[in-house]
């Protein structure tokens, strides 16, 4: 399995580690060359500085992969999200870091620039925002665990509770940043 991480901040480091523990092929990209370095991400299989205009390489890297948008930069996230939302058939998972209102703002800004914004509909349906499950805990490691849990669930078509489980949290309720998550009794 392949994971493309768009963004090279410190919170990406534990995500790379967790993905590698599962033997994923991990690529980290960022348009800021000072962050996208092998020294910062020695465990990643590939690290590259990729300009925001290079949509061909972004689409090639995202092909059949899970994609995590984690740059903390509105400019970078807007550029990458615009390309990826328009090519939903390309990737298997797409998640955007940050609060729901921030991602909705990005979607609205991207849609406003298009003559036919409905081209984004399939991508928006596939987009997980905020990225990851809210599993508890604080810090980049807890975030990485929630992200990998959600990516694995999506990639393996796991929408039902685990067999033998006595509780479940629905995908929509369990997203990171959703403070209204309730654990409900399982119907299994």
Q: Which residues contact 160 (CB under 8 A, 6 or more apart)?
A: 188
Q: Is the pLDDT of residue 5 over 50?
A: yes
- pLDDT at res. 179: 41
Condensed to tens digits (0 to 9), the pLDDT of residues 157-173 reads 987 555 554 433 444 44
The pLDDT assigned to 170 comes to 46
Q: Where are the domains of the chain?
A: 2-185
Per-residue pLDDT at 177: 46
Q: What is the pLDDT of residues 112-162, one digit of tens each?
A: 999 898 999 999 999 999 999 999 999 999 999 999 999 999 999 987 555
pLDDT of residue 168: 39
Task: Please give the pLDDT value at position 160.
Answer: 54
For the stretch 7-34, pLDDT in tens is 999 999 999 999 999 999 999 999 999 9
Contact criterion met (CB below 8 Å) for 27 and 2: yes
pTM, entire model: 0.85
Strands 184-185 and 66-69: unpaired
| The CATH fold of domain 2-185 | Rossmann fold (3.40.50)
Whether the CB-CB separation of 8 and 32 falls below 8 Å is answered with yes
Q: For the segment 45-64, what is each residue's pLDDT rounded down to a tens digit?
A: 999 999 999 999 999 999 99
């Amino acid at each position: 399995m392949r994971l493309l991480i768009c963004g090279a901040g410190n919170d990406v480091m534990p995500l790379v580690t967790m993905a590698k523990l599962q033997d994923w092929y991990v690529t980290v990209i960022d348009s800021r060359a000072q962050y996208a370095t092998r020294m910062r991400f020695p465990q990643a299989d590939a690290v590259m500085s990729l300009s925001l205009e290079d949509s061909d390489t972004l689409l090639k890297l995202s092909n059949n992969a899970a994609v995590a948008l984690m740059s903390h930069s509105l400019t970078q996230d807007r550029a990458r999200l615009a390309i990826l939302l328009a090519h939903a058939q390309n990737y298997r998972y797409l998640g955007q870091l940050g609060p729901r209102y921030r991602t909705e703002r990005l979607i609205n800004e991207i849609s406003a620039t298009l003559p036919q914004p409905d081209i984004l509909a399939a991508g928006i349906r596939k987009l997980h925002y905020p990225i990851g499950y809210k599993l508890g805990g604080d810090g980049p490691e807890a975030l990485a665990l929630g992200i990998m849990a959600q990516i694995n669930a999506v990639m393996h078509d796991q929408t039902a509770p685990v067999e033998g489980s006595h509780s479940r949290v629905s995908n929509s309720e369990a997203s990171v940043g959703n403070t209204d998550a309730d654990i409900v009794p399982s119907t299994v």
